[in-house]
Amino acid sequence: MRTRIRNARWLAVLPALMLAAPLAAAAPMPASSGHVHFIQKSSKAGTLNNGNVAFSGRRITIPVVAVAPGSPDKTFELHGKVNPTIVLPAGAKLRIKLADADHEMPHGLGVTRKAPPYPENAKAEIKPPIAGTGIVQPSESAANLHVKSTGWFTLKPGTYYYVCPVPGHAKDGMYGKIVVQASGQ
């Protein structure tokens, strides 16, 4: 049985830390107590719309948490939702920041057009990903999250998926949908 920190205050700082993290952050990110804002439900972290998380703008950073406290194993969380559909405008420059809040397992995130179901080794199925974070190692504590980012990328209108490339994770449900809408939709 796995043990997970269920501290709501810690969960509240995750997105703020991720947006503040440098592009290629692979080292732990220390938590800042007084200046951290809860943005998981702010417009910078997208807006919740019918269970989807929608973003607007020309440059979008999407903060995603792997296995947030209180969430099921092998899931991504954004805006308080597990594996939500992310809705984006076509032509926007995107970057996804992934924080591994799971203290026991590494996780990663790759963007692909390949739809589920996924095999045990999803990494082979989605190779090469359109964009990816690489593998993020487990964080030792809530105060030192490991965060990695994709580089900036753009998606054309259509349907994509964000998938954990660690063997067995996508097969067990660690993926979500990305819908890129053409102008005027």
Q: What is the pLDDT of residues 80-107, one digit of tens each?
A: 899 999 999 999 999 999 999 998 999 9
Q: Please check the confidence at residue 3 and state whether its pLDDT lies above 50.
A: no
Cβ contact 60:181 at 8 Å: no
Which tens digits make up the pLDDT trace of 149-176?
999 999 999 999 999 999 999 999 999 9
Q: Could you give the maximum distance between any two Cα atoms of the chain, in Å?
A: 48
Q: Please check the confidence at residue 64 and state whether its pLDDT lies above 80.
A: yes
Fold of 8-181: Immunoglobulin-like (2.60.40)
d(CA 48, CA 51): 6
DSSP three-state, residue 15: helix
Cβ contact 125:107 at 8 Å: no
Q: Please check the confidence at residue 131 and state whether its pLDDT lies above 90.
A: yes
Chain-centroid distance, C-alpha 175: 10
pLDDT value at position 126? 82
Confidence band for 110, pLDDT divided at 50, 70 and 90: very high
Nearest to 47 by CA among 84, 13, 21, 76: 84
Structure tokens at 118: 């996924």
Q: What percent of the chain has pLDDT over 90?
A: 61
Mean of the pLDDT values across residues 23-27?
39
- The reported pTM is 0.79
